[in-house]
Chains A and B, each alone.
Chain A
Amino acid sequence: MQTEWIWGFGGGLMIGMGAAIYLLGNGRIMGASGILGGLIDGSDRTKERLAFIAGLVGMPLILSLLLSPAPATHLTGNLSVVIIAGLLVGVGTRIANGCTSGHGVCGISRFSLRGIVATVIYIGAGAVILVFLRHLLGLI
């Protein structure tokens, strides 16, 4: 659909404004894996992390009640795939010290070499997985 890229760009601007407010206000990089991971590691700024996650969960909850049709994730029903994928995303983003928001949005906008390389690698790995498991093996 032709309007999808407009929603994509507009939503992207909102994500970027959230990241900009977090950086200029709190002096921190808005990375989803880092903010959640810090809670798990017992790092400092627990209340700030919880406030951020409250907004990240709460605003989509409110919007999902107002939007028609209601949003859906269309996540695969194969729970083995879901569990393996969740474990890989959790371990991988913490070892690499960032995900799509931290390395992608915040890193690339700063011309960070680590952010750019990480983004190229995780997009590449995702594309390779889909070629193998969807097109060659027909598993997902």
Chain B
Amino acid sequence: MRMVISLLAGSLFGAGLLLSGMTDTTKVQGWLDIFGNWDPTLAFVMGGAIVPMFFAWRLAEHRRPLTGGTFPAPSAPELDRNLIIGSVMFGMGWGLSGLCPGPAIASISYGGVGGIVFLLAMIAGMYAAPAVGSKLDRAANAA
């Protein structure tokens, strides 16, 4: 059951990313490029995606997931250094390429050599992340 739900969720996510235009890097960079030919599409995608999730979080109150267990607890409203540094790094890579993790995976069948190179570099970055994170912690403690 959990496998079927995962497959269905991934399929909807992938279809939505493709149909909304979010696997087209020119549309994503068009949204980020406020001094260029600005493209508002990403805001409509984000808005559209937040609507079902808003109701899903309401439904999740006082209930349990269909397959058992518990819902993820809300994160503490604390902003740590890694959240900020990591988001800056992610945003820089996102702006450079126009790809974030979801679209990078979803477009792998039609993204050509560049798409495969991006995905491999992203996976390498994910491998390196724990080491980079602890290095940042050490640097901050030393300062």
Chain A residues near B (Cβ < 8 Å): 4-5, 7-30, 32-33, 36-37, 40-41, 47-49, 51-61, 63-64, 67, 70-77, 79, 81-97, 99-101, 103-106, 108-110, 112-114, 117-118, 121-131, 133-135, 140
Chain B nearest CB, measured from A100 CB (Å): 5
Contact B96 A88 (CB under 8 A): yes
Task: Please tell me which one of the listed residues B2, B4, B93, B109 contacts residue A89 in the complex, with CB atoms under 8 A apart.
Answer: B93
Residues of B within 8 A of A27 (CB): 64-65, 67-72
Which 7 pairs of residues, A with B, have the shortest CB-CB distance?
A90-B125, A12-B48, A11-B20, A86-B121, A125-B91, A55-B10, A96-B86
The residue of chain B having its C-beta at the shortest distance from the C-beta of A120 within the complex is B87
Contact B53 A8 (CB under 8 A): no
Task: Please tell me which one of the listed residues B16, B71, B77, B111 contacts residue A11 in the complex, with CB atoms under 8 A apart.
Answer: B16
Contact A73 B99 (CB under 8 A): yes
Contact B94 A9 (CB under 8 A): no
* CB within 8 Å for A19 and B56 given contacts A86-B125, A121-B87: yes
Q: A97–B136 Cα gap in the complex (Å)?
A: 15
Q: A94–B5 Cα gap in the complex (Å)?
A: 24
Chain A nearest CB, measured from B108 CB (Å): 6
Task: Please tell me which one of the listed residues A16, A37, A63 contacts residue B126 in the complex, with CB atoms under 8 A apart.
Answer: A37
Contact B90 A82 (CB under 8 A): no
Q: A23–B35 Cα gap in the complex (Å)?
A: 37
The residue of chain B having its C-beta at the shortest distance from the C-beta of A78 within the complex is B114
